[in-house]
């Protein structure tokens, strides 16, 4: 370290005599980075609000197995789903969930299917009081990425579950 002569120190002190220091009144910090999980949850809640309505009543069958297909989907796809040609890669069990929680889970399931290029999934709503059994098909029929659904075969839950065919975009379909 270099030694500063005393006369230079004295000259410097004379130059800064009478100067008031500035108060720092602004603190510049970066905003805290939001966790990716919180952002995804917020996006899911917004998606659920825009996809699912409790008042919408799609045209669903009153007799026989629960089934539905979008207008632009061939009836053959529904038949393949019914016969078991599509095997679900993801299962969602809604037992014990409230309606609001079930909506979030269904939206997350469909989003996961699209993200992972999974064409078929299974939603188990159970028998219970019949609230989720009644509401689940109505919610699925409203989602833009659901191509079709059909009551599951016995091995996947029977009339307490639905096999869902998801539109994964232009990805090549796999079975």
Q: What pLDDT was estimated at residue 50? A: 66
pLDDT in tens, 17-54: 888 888 877 777 776 666 777 777 777 666 666 677 77
User: What is the SS3 assignment for 154?
Assistant: helix
Q: What average pLDDT is seen over the chain?
A: 85
Q: Is it the case that residue 175 has pLDDT exceeding 50?
A: no
Of the ranges 17-26, 49-58, 89-98, 165-174, which is most confident? Answer: 89-98
Least confident of 1-5, 89-93, 109-113: 1-5
Domains and CATH numbers, the chain: 67-166 (3.30.1370.110)
Most distant CA pair in the chain, distance: 104
Structure tokens at 109: 């399931």
Cα–Cα dist 163/153, whole Å: 9
Q: What pLDDT was estimated at residue 118? A: 94
Instruction: Give pTM, 2 decimals.
Output: 0.69
Q: Is it the case that residue 136 has pLDDT exceeding 90?
A: yes
The residue-averaged pLDDT of 130-157 equals: 91
Cα–Cα dist 142/72, whole Å: 14
Q: Is it the case that residue 74 has pLDDT exceeding 90?
A: yes
Per-residue confidence at 116, pLDDT binned at 50, 70, 90? very high
Q: 106 and 136 in contact (C-beta within 8 Å)?
A: yes
The residue-averaged pLDDT of 125-135 equals: 89
């Amino acid at each position: 370290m270099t030694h500063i002569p005393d006369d230079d120190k004295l000259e410097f002190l004379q130059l800064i005599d009478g100067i008031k220091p500035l108060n720092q009144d602004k603190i510049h910090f970066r905003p805290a980075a939001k966790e990716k999980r919180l952002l995804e949850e917020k996006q899911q809640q917004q998606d659920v609000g825009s996809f699912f309505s409790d008042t919408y009543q799609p045209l669903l069958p009153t007799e026989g197995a629960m089934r539905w297909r979008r207008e632009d989907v061939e009836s053959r796809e529904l038949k393949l789903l019914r016969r078991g040609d599509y095997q679900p890669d993801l299962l969602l069990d809604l037992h014990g969930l409230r309606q609001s929680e079930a909506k979030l889970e269904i939206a997350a399931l469909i989003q996961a299917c699209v993200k992972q290029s999974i064409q078929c999934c299974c939603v188990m709503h159970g028998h219970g009081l019949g609230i989720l059994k009644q509401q689940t098909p109505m919610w699925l029929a409203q989602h833009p990425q659901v191509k079709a659904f059909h009551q599951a075969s016995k091995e996947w839950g029977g009339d307490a579950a639905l096999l869902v065919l998801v539109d994964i975009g232009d990805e090549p379909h796999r079975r």
